[in-house]
A and B are shown apart, each in its own frame.
Chain A
């Protein structure tokens, strides 16, 4: 038994709202159950349909983009459960097995590598492009994001449990590493530019040393206090010492 292409498209669309009702107890459970509903509608009738909803309201959490792969795979497994080829709890076991490790992959790649790298690249182009740098960020980030989400969903559906193998062959970890190196280099470039455009040599030196001191102490400070210290220091020093120069 196969679900229709329309139902698959609706499942994918609803997966974009996976975290709308994110909650501590079930985390993405409501979003997942809502997203898979169009497929369940075609596979089950009557009490079996409601029972399927209940099954999918169990705890689930993953990275919101990578969850698309698990959602696709879950639709494939539900097709087999509906015909009796697979046991009912195989879907739950699949979700439980892949949710956390895929969450880790997504956190590492999207949140901690691609997003900072894209934002830093855009920030570097700001003096040149002005507000146009927003498009640089959105373009860099979302071309990867949307392509990945679509690929993950369709591969998950086509390959079911084979998704692990497919993701493995995508060599995400090397992409994560490379993007982090890019991010570090870009951050260094931003730091250099901030210092070099601070004004006369005295201000350059002052800005440069502030960056170094801040980088050393930041891990021990909450961002909000660090900002208040910076503003307070500025007030204490006064504008005379510190030439203003902004991008």
Chain B
């Protein structure tokens, strides 16, 4: 975790479930993160989702739920930056990460935590399913210097892009 991304981003994670046990109980302490930024249109537009998330977040951790575009404006160079000095950025889909990166958000590392099954997606780990176009997008990200990994919780061995591709073809 030495490489710095957008200033203040401790990790960028793709997780369909956004705020849940793995994130709060495993990643927050491992990253020593002080803030969570959820960049997701559905969550931002759903009062119930936002208040339930706020309920689950530990008291000393800040939570910000924004639409994807608002998060991009915040995080790209020249933006106001993330809410806390060490912020965990949560995204629902791979395409959200691609979109942020395309808008200039620095992303030295991209963690894939939970990507649910959907028609056309193939399993690459217990909790990550990808479709061919997502894999292609991840390869493009990797080519620009982003380290892509599949890892549900920090004490698991991360699966790199080559291993992901091998699993995908298997």
Chain A interface residues toward B at CB < 8 A = 24-26, 59, 61, 63, 93-94, 96-108, 111-112, 161, 164-165, 167-168, 173
Contacts and interface: CB of A to CB of B under 8 A. Distances in A.
A104 B51 contact: no
A193 to B, nearest CB: 28
Nearest to B127: A24
A93 B52 CA distance: 13
Contacts of A63: 21
Interface residues of B, number: 27
A102 B42 CA distance: 18
A26 B48 contact: no
Contact of B17 (A24, A99, A108): A99
Given A107-B25, A112-B25, A173-B58, A61 B17 contact: yes
21 contacts: A25-B117, A25-B129, A26-B117, A59-B16, A96-B42, A97-B46, A97-B49, A98-B52, A99-B20, A101-B20, A101-B53, A102-B56, A103-B17, A104-B23, A107-B20, A107-B25, A164-B55, A165-B51, A168-B55, A173-B58, A173-B59
B52 A102 contact: yes
Given A101-B53, A101-B55, A164 B21 contact: no
Given A93-B46, A103-B20, A24 B55 contact: no
Contacts, number: 75
Nearest to B53: A101
A215 B55 CA distance: 32
B116 interface: yes
Contact of A105 (B16, B56, B117, B126): B56
A59 B92 CA distance: 14
